[in-house]
Amino acid sequence: MLIKTYGAAVQGIDAIIVTIEVAVEIGASFNLVGLPDTAVKESYQRVRSALKQSGLEFPRRSVVINMSPADVKKEGAAYDLPISLAILAASEQLACRNLDDYLIMGELSLDGTVLPIRGVLPMAIKARQLGYKGMIVPKDNVTEAAVVNNIDVYGVESLVQVVKFLNGEMPLAPTVVNTREEFSRAVTAFDLDFAEVKGQDNVKRAFEVACAGGHNILLVGAPGSGKSMMAKRLPSILPPLTLQEALETTKIHSVAGKLKSGSRLMTQRPFRAPHHTISPVALVGGGANPMPGEISLAHNGVLFLDEFPEFSRSVLEVMRQPLEDRHITVSRAKYSIDYPAGFMLVASMNPCPCGYYNHPAKECTCAPGQVQKYLNRISGPLMDRIDIQVEIMPVPFEELSTMQRGEPSAAIRERVIRARAMQSRRFAGEKSVYCNAQMNTRLLEKHVTLDKSCMDIVRNAMKRFDMSARAYDRILKVARTIADLDGSEPILPRHMSEAVSYRNLDRASWGSTFNYKVNKTNRTN
């Protein structure tokens, strides 16, 4: 007897349907075909034991299993449940009249317990697209799949429970999740707040500008100046996720297996902070079994790279293309997969190897030329993609000891949301452009018009500080964002002056031997 059940395989962050065909015939053999990996091949032992421990019988006949399409590699133990149900139906131990209505996935333990799997959300989206009546998944994954509307999702704990449900012996109620209500309730809940930060008003302002325009930002400061502390509070001032962004973000984390048991829709923008020893594959994704990397897990959120120059050169350079294109294509001999990578880069670094270059109180002990050499660990093309560069000075004791709280994140976020609304209207007719940081040369010419006073400010800054040519476009984009925060359509001189102040590292004298000697002399005097 030939029976078909339906599962799914994840490719990238999307799912494709896998048809599991089982034929039970005269003989005594077991064959599993359709490009299965080792984990899928081992399902024979798991399924056989699970059936026996559940009071069911593995057929003493020839069993042939085909997983179609045969040219797609099947990975993991998530096919145990549909394989076992197909075997039961083919051996007439299970009613097969409604198997076609369900997409079924789940790993089996030896005692018949259904264990959680990864990638359930994209599977549920695909099942709804193809018109399946319902979906049977492990109970730990049911809330994750139930965020998809217009499909019945059943969470099961054991193989026996599934068999009784399909035979009509035990009713199961589908899990219902009010996605929009839960999303709107939890979208503004944060553990960290900028009100807890003492002083550093200029840095807070730089963060506000960066979030309003989607600009990448680099923080340069001595150890203990508060770089990491403020970076961790950045998600609290970013615009809230839209429902579409939340679904896309949750899909990525579901595929990567990063969602906790019982998770539902992600309501806050992700914040990823990998260690500087990370490998290029772990950052961009891929591997023998393709998985999203850190830049994809940070999609629609923040990628924070602390101790920026300590990352290997190869790791930093692989970010150049995704920073520009907002997606990454991982191509290997056996596969080619696209992952989204629309993240905001926040990097922090010490100004020099000892950490005290330009420090107001401590003397830099680095030899002449070491400061510039340290900065040169970051390539020019990568630095070119960072719009805002801010120097951070340590907070004086008087400000640290005050009991006065700073401006709360909610107030900053309101201004950011208003600025983003202006940009949404501005780029309504543009494809894949959502904020000022994504403007190309054509859009800059269209939306950034400078009067004589603004042009004079830029010209004088470029000449005085000997700024590189790459700084010019960045200054214009940041100035456009500052004007949006001010609710102003034209860019005014004060907006341009502030934008110029966010290009500290583009000054030719920064980190030079001359500056080192001047600083050392001044401290001695």
pLDDT for the residue 405 = 80
Altogether, the residues listed in the chain come to a count of 525
Look at residue 373 in the predicted model and tell me its pLDDT.
86
Query: Cα 472 to chain center, whole Å?
Result: 30
Q: Which residue type is seen at 136? A: I
Q: What is the pLDDT of residues 382-414, one digit of tens each?
A: 888 899 999 888 877 667 677 678 888 889 999
Element (H, E) at 135: strand 134-138
Report the C-alpha gap between 57 and 51 in whole angstroms: 6
pLDDT of residue 514: 40
Q: Distance between alpha carbon 473 and the CA centroid of its chain, in Å? A: 27
Q: Enter the DSSP assignment of 511.
A: T
Name the one residue in this structure whose structure tokens are 């697209």: 129
For tokens 């019945």, the residue is: 152
Residues of the chain with CATH 3.40.50.300: 185-429
Could you read off the pLDDT of 320-343 as tens digits, one per residue? 889 888 889 888 777 788 899 999
For CATH 3.30.230.10, the residue range(s) in the chain are 2-166
Q: How far is it, in rounded angstroms, from Cα 200 to Cα 222?
A: 14
Cα dihedral value 42, 46, 49, 50, nearest 10: -160
Alpha helices in 154-200 (DSSP H): 159-166, 179-186
* Predicted pLDDT of residue 509: 60
| CATH fold for the domain made of 2-166 | Ribosomal Protein S5; domain 2 (3.30.230)
CATH of domain 185-429: 3.40.50.300
Nearest by Cα to 311 from 344, 340, 273, 342: 273
Per-residue CA distances from 238 to 193, 208, 405 (Å):
12, 8, 20
Which portions of the chain are predicted below pLDDT 70? 182-189, 397-398, 400, 403, 470, 507-525
Q: Which residue's entry shows tokens 């076609």? A: 100
The reported pLDDT for the residue numbered 124 is: 94
